[in-house]
Structure 1
């Protein structure tokens, strides 16, 4: 089973890109996608605040909330 998690926050930051009210789709610790939060989405975990996206050494995009890796 492919375990995916959706996390929403007031702000998603990826380099120079700042997305207000966004959602991040994560599978196996890596960001699969991120997009504007469009209404309520089932099984989305609301974190509030800011999610920061950073590129890992292996090239995968990782998401952090308050300095903690989201998995």
Structure 2
């Protein structure tokens, strides 16, 4: 897995986000992070445009990623 930093550009339906990578490329990523307190529904971390995040990509598809951490 490859991880990079990105900035949230837009929030889309279904927990999808449009992100801008450091090299100015735009990609889609789904939100998969919650606060470490347990109940993911109650402790969901909300992302807003302008937030910096860490994104994880599979080696086979670099156009879609998974948000693993808010920076």
Same-fold status (TM-score > 0.5): no
User: Could you state the TM-score of these two structures normalised by the residue count of structure 1?
Assistant: 0.32
Larger radius of gyration, structure 1 or 2?
Answer: 2
